[in-house]
Structure 1
Amino acid sequence: MDDQLRTVAQNGDIDALYRRFAEDPYVLDRVDQLPITDTPLHQAARSGKPHFEMEVANLKPSLSSKLNLMGLSPLHLALQHNCSHMVRGLITINSNLIRVKAKGMMTPLHYLAEIDDAELLAEFLFACPSSIEDTTVKFETAVHIAVKNGSISALKVLLGWLNRVNKEDILTWKDEDGNTALHIAVSTIQPQVVKLLVKHVNVNVKNSNGMTAMDTFHLQGTMQSLEIGKILSRARAKRASNLTSNITLRDYLSRKLTLIDIRDKYLGIYSRNNRSDIRAMVLVVAILIVTATYQAGLNPPGGYWQDNYKPATTNNGSSSANNTNTSLGQDPRPHYAG
């Protein structure tokens, strides 16, 4: 970015920007050719010029997701400089900017979870629902980050969102050390956070060291952690050694299929317990049963009579219809339906 364009961006002068275009129509294109660079959007974010930011983002949308030499996008800088008008303007133009990964693969959503800005965090989740699945270079979700930084308000928003969109399984995702958010809350002695999490998670998930949250609690050995022990006990948390099954994923996939596995496979249980899929499967099976029963009623299987037949007799006691029925291919013997 040349000095003249930098000054225009710093002042937020939109008229001067278009005068610069009159001199050089390709000035933004040359900036865009560089994969990592300081753009007019970065300068506008630092200077707090939301209108100029929106103008450039509309003219050259690709600049909005570009990182500068510090590894930050314009949206990251706008958040750091508390320019909420600029932040809302950028995500209005392109909500996917919420998923842009800065240095350390930190997204703007992760940053909000870190600083405990619950208001903007909620807006980000509604603007870009898929952003909740993004992880950092340390495999941390926004929940991990909120717990590590004691961001209670942000954590409440995240838990409420995950519950409403049926994605609470994200709470069992593990960071690079194999710890879930619950493991972290226990190890950092945050009873309030533990109390929030146990309502939404499987409290007996093990980390990469084979330890549950209760195992982590027993490693603390401090008076401050006693409350956490009570919370975990009420939530029926157990130590790994007390779990009824310690089967690993490798063991599960290596073993032979059982009758229960086969049943679950064909009833669609493996499709993340999708209730609508299971209901549809039951409905299809019911229809097949009814159809088969109806067809059997219309066409009873061979070996059963379909009508009553009693031939008339002559004076000498013989059947007068024997010859007739035989010629028609019918059984001349008297019989009853069924």
Structure 2
Amino acid sequence: MDASNLADQSESPITPLLSTDVGDQIELADQTTVQEATKLEGNNSTVLKSSMDPDVFNAAKQGNLDVLKEQGNNLDRMLTATKNTVLHIYTACYRHPTYKESEDEILKSTNTVDDILNMCPALLWQQNESVRALFLATKTYYQGDLEQGCVLSSEDAALQEQKLIRKTNNKNDTALHEAVRFNYFGVVEVLTKEDPEFSYSPNDAGETPLYLAVERGYTRYCLQILEGCKNPTYEGPNGRTALHAAIICNDEVMTRALLKSDRTLAKAADERGRIPLHMAANFCYFSMVKQLLECDKSTAYVADNGGRTALHFAASEGHLDIMKELLTHCPDCCELVDNQCQNVLHYAIESDQNHVVDFVLTDLWLSNILLNAKDANGNAPLHHLAHYPNLAMDNFVHDDKVDIMSFNKENLNAFDIILANEDNISKAVELEYIKKMLQSRYGRPGHRVKNQNDDGNEVEENQGSRDTGESLMKAKETQLVVATLIATVTFAAGFTMPGGYHSESGSDQGSPILSRNTAFKAFVITNTLAMAMSSCSVLVLLYSSVHTKRKHMIQTSDTFYMVVTLTMLALIAMVIAFIAGTYAVLGGHSPGLALAALVLGCFFFYFFAHSILSLESKILKSPHFLRHLYLGIVLIDKLEANIQASVDQVTGIRSHRTPYI
């Protein structure tokens, strides 16, 4: 064999062809002479008995043929504890030649295998407990040398070779499995050419060599197997095929080759009923989607076990380009629903995919089909919006084609669902905004659900509502303490200015010494803001404290949310005021100390503010700031209504309201 060819094939050592545990066993054997275990009668302990001579073992590791020749034909009977032969040991300890080694050194290493087999040909078929096809990979790795050897020189050489190629280990791995797994392209090339008729069944893990190659992204391995094998097997674990793996790898070349080899792979589903198009749509692999649709556009109508099509997956993930491509090939695939009768618009709203909703609204066909379609529970997309409120869905609510008063099977419309969920403080902003939008389109409660029992008595509120109210009241008390403390501290700081006052008589007497300092000005502004916002929080809590009954719970949750926001902003302003005041006092005389105070204050402020801002991320991280500002105005209006309600209760005047039956 030419040395350059050997060097080309030496991309990775041959040792991995032996299982990982075998390598450990051989190392153990070197230290303990590899022993076999027997049980002592009447005792659970184990006695280890030597099974291979240490000199023979070391000779096999080093490739010392002189010592091995002394054993003659007994080599096949000299086994380790896991039935490894001297050939297993040599190949496991074999050091791969480098490109710098001479041709003679390379050939010397490779011919050792031939010499060992010439001593004992039976070693070729010797099997260990874990890797039974080890030598097959070694044989194919040095194909040129072994074809001239005495082992395969008989008339049935072809049958023996085929038997070697098709042989499996205890995990049903063939040599081709091992060659792909450990990146031996030369071995893959030889195996596929020597036995092109063999289809290579899956191993115990459900993997075929082709699936392994595709899953690992070995493009040339995939192409070689498809070209060399007449009937390749495409199966993989979990019911998947090699095409599923190609889609996951986002490899256009392998995808094209697999579809060319077998077009039916486009419709092959895994255990969850998902075909390759579902995965491509879910991962937003546009080129993959395009290839699959060009191969078989009917795959757009195939649903998984949950009834979801590729359009459902694309809508749920917000992949608008994928949706447009699917609708270009199959415009009517939007009519398909899942097992719960939910269409793609239900999925888009539930996943907060605003641009998908806007796309549906601008398309007349899609809007007529999807806007008011109901699922198995009678919920239209608008009902889903009430369950999963989103501030950016105003275009959807304001669309004239949306039925605002649509009822589900529980006789609830979207307004009813919002009212039922208003105790959820984490969604108070979104729910209030959606409610205002519904009211702008004359939406109102449906009044179909009774809150009285058959005897005409009022139904007692459930324990969950009572617990929510109690938790809310305790939280309000905590907020009142915090807001009062901030207001007190900032009020005092306003009259004890940093740096003191001018004491000399004159026009500046009694004025702050640092009044012209920029940092001092920042202190005054932020301290005033902190005092004003905390005082506002205290005021809101005082007026809302009288609204503790169930009928005022909505107002209570809204005002609480407003108080939390004001208190948080006041706390932030107070920290900034402290940093600015400290810097104003120290900056002129101790710039180093002032800078240290500034850095430490900002460092603390960053982590402190981050922990609080995470609780209010829906407001402070929302791109729709103006909507939140608008909602703040709405909440102030509600505060005024609360004040008026308090006055009404004191004076005994009750405003006329339509009862909710």
Give TM-score scaled by structure 2 length. 0.32
Contact 2:259 2:266 in 1 (8 A): yes
Q: Distance in 1 between matches of 2:264 and 2:204?
A: 18
User: Which residue does the alignment assign to 2:210?
Assistant: 41
* Residue among 225, 243, 267 paired with 1:56: 225
- AA aligned opposite 1:237: V
User: Which residue does the alignment assign to 1:195?
Assistant: 358
- 1:191-212 deviations in Å (ceiling 9; x for gaps): 2101222413212221111122
**What displacement does 1:145 show?**
0.5
**What displacement does 1:185 show?**
1.5
- 1:78-112 deviations in Å (ceiling 9; x for gaps): 22233321111111222221111123111110011
Contact 1:5 1:17 in 2 (8 A): no
**What displacement does 1:131 show?**
0.9
- 1:152-191 deviations in Å (ceiling 9; x for gaps): 221221122223xxxx1x2122212221001122233322
Q: Does residue 1:205 correspond to 2:373, yes or no?
A: yes
* Residue among 305, 330, 353 paired with 1:137: 305
Q: Structure 2 unaligned runs (5+)? A: 1-171, 409-661
Q: Distance in 1 between matches of 2:383 and 2:186?
A: 60
**What displacement does 1:222 show?**
4.7
Please identify, of 4-13 and 101-110, the stretch whose mean Cα deviation from structure 2 is larger. 4-13
User: Which residue does the alignment assign to 2:396?
Assistant: 228
Contact 1:42 1:73 in 2 (8 A): yes
**What displacement does 1:139 show?**
0.7
Q: Does residue 1:175 correspond to 2:338, yes or no?
A: yes
Q: Distance in 1 between matches of 2:394 and 2:215?
A: 46
Q: Structure 1's 225 and 196: CA in aligned 2 closer, same or farther, altered over 3 A?
A: closer
Contact 1:187 1:220 in 2 (8 A): yes
- 1:285-313 deviations in Å (ceiling 9; x for gaps): xxxxxxxxxxxxxxxxxxxxxxxxxxxxx
User: Which residue does the alignment assign to 1:148?
Assistant: 316
Summarize the alignment of residues 42-121 of structure 1 with structure 2, pairs less than 5 Å apart.
42-58=211-227, 59-61=229-231, 63-64=233-234, 66-68=235-237, 70-121=238-289
User: Which residue does the alignment assign to 2:185?
Assistant: 13
Please identify, of 76-85 and 142-151, the stretch whose mean Cα deviation from structure 2 is larger. 76-85
User: Which residue does the alignment assign to 1:285?
Assistant: none
- 1:132-164 deviations in Å (ceiling 9; x for gaps): 11111111000111111122221221122223x
* Residue among 402, 408, 412 paired with 1:237: 402
Contact 2:252 2:287 in 1 (8 A): no
**What displacement does 1:48 show?**
2.7
Percent identity for Structure 1 against Structure 2: 20
Q: Distance in 1 between matches of 2:210 and 2:200?
A: 14
- AA aligned opposite 1:131: T
Q: Structure 1's 46 and 239: CA in aligned 2 closer, same or farther, altered over 3 A?
A: same
Give the number of equivalent residue pairs: 230
Q: Structure 1's 80 and 242: CA in aligned 2 closer, same or farther, altered over 3 A?
A: closer
Q: Distance in 2 between matches of 1:17 and 1:221?
A: 58
- AA aligned opposite 1:80: I
- AA aligned opposite 1:13: F
**What displacement does 1:123 show?**
1.9
Q: Structure 1's 172 and 19: CA in aligned 2 closer, same or farther, altered over 3 A?
A: closer
Q: Distance in 2 between matches of 1:204 and 1:153?
A: 24
- AA aligned opposite 1:49: Y
Q: Distance in 2 between matches of 1:222 and 1:17?
A: 57
Give TM-score scaled by structure 1 length. 0.59
**What displacement does 1:240 show?**
6.8
SS in structure 2 at match of 1:123: helix
Q: Distance in 1 between matches of 2:261 and 2:200?
A: 22
User: Which residue does the alignment assign to 1:31?
Assistant: 201
Q: Does residue 1:184 correspond to 2:370, yes or no?
A: no
**What displacement does 1:115 show?**
0.7
Contact 2:273 2:304 in 1 (8 A): yes
Q: Structure 1's 47 and 119: CA in aligned 2 closer, same or farther, altered over 3 A?
A: closer
Q: Structure 1's 193 and 50: CA in aligned 2 closer, same or farther, altered over 3 A?
A: same
- AA aligned opposite 1:86: M
- AA aligned opposite 1:147: A
Q: Structure 1's 14 and 240: CA in aligned 2 closer, same or farther, altered over 3 A?
A: farther
- Larger C-alpha radius of gyration, 1 or 2? 2
Q: Distance in 2 between matches of 1:216 and 1:62?
A: 47
Q: Distance in 2 between matches of 1:38 and 1:63?
A: 10
Contact 1:210 1:240 in 2 (8 A): no
RMSD, aligned CA = 2.9
SS in structure 2 at match of 1:105: coil
SS in structure 2 at match of 1:224: coil
SS in structure 1 at match of 2:206: coil
Relative contact order: is structure 1 or structure 2 higher (C-alpha 8 Å, sep ≥ 6)?
A: 1
Q: Distance in 1 between matches of 2:214 and 2:349?
A: 38
Q: Structure 1 unaligned runs (5+)? A: 244-338
User: Which residue does the alignment assign to 1:217?
Assistant: 385
Q: Structure 1's 18 and 214: CA in aligned 2 closer, same or farther, altered over 3 A?
A: same
Summarize the alignment of residues 207-286 of structure 1 with structure 2, pairs less than 5 Å apart.
207-230=375-398, 233-234=399-400, 236-239=401-404, 241=406
SS in structure 1 at match of 2:393: helix
